[in-house]
Amino acid sequence: MDATGLSRTTVSDYFCSRRGRRFRRWVKVSVVILCGSLLPLALEVALKPTHDCVQARGLLTQAQEVARPQRLYADAGYDAEWIHKQCREQWGVESVIQPVQRRADGKRGGRWRAKMSSQYLKKADFGRRWAVESFFSALKRTMGSALSARSQEQMVAEAAIKVLAYAIRR
């Protein structure tokens, strides 16, 4: 499970910064990818940058309806006890999420978050999370990272169609 951004223009952020312009907003695409086949199980599209946990509930609900994998890999943006709880107790899937240091004493709160040590991540093969990064890289290389739509509804539709078209193309 991860997210990426699709730009609203073909002009790069680097070019805008060199010209002294402000960065433009981007459309956030969040997906759950099945590691073995690199096919999307769930998709959420947001019109502005938000914290990853905002789309997590919708992604998990969609993924639960479609499949039951052994594990769910996610980066530190999805580090929340309620995500672990939903995966493990409601869905029956082992959650493997890189923890974020939030307390000064170095401890992680929560029953499931406390188990996410570096040894646990290594044993649970956290390196398989590369699959979603590979999916996004190939999506942007083949379908482009810019959206041509201008209305908000059309931007959401175009982003979703890009993910669907790439999944079919594979």
The pLDDT of residue 143 = 93
CA 3 to chain centroid, in Å, comes to 3
Q: Is the pLDDT of residue 9 over 90?
A: no
pLDDT at 156: 93
Q: Is the pLDDT of residue 162 over 70?
A: yes
Percent of the chain with pLDDT over 90: 68
The predicted-structure confidence for 35-59, as pLDDT tens digits, reads as follows 888 899 999 999 988 899 999 999 9
92-126: burial string, b at 16+ Cβ within 10 Å, e else: ebebbbbbeeeeeeeebeeebbeebeeeebeebeb
73: which strand partners? 96
Bridge partner residues of 3 (DSSP): 30
pLDDT interval class at 24 (50, 70, 90): low
Per-residue confidence at 13, pLDDT binned at 50, 70, 90?
low
Residue 165 has pLDDT above 90, yes or no: yes
The closest alpha carbon to 31, from 93, 92, 73, belongs to 73
Q: To which H or E segment does residue 153 belong? A: helix 152-169
Residue range 114-157, pLDDT digits in tens: 999 999 999 999 999 999 999 999 999 999 988 988 888 999 99
- pTM of the predicted structure, to 2 decimals: 0.85
Give the per-residue pLDDT at 108. Answer: 78
Least confident of 2-11, 43-52, 59-68: 2-11
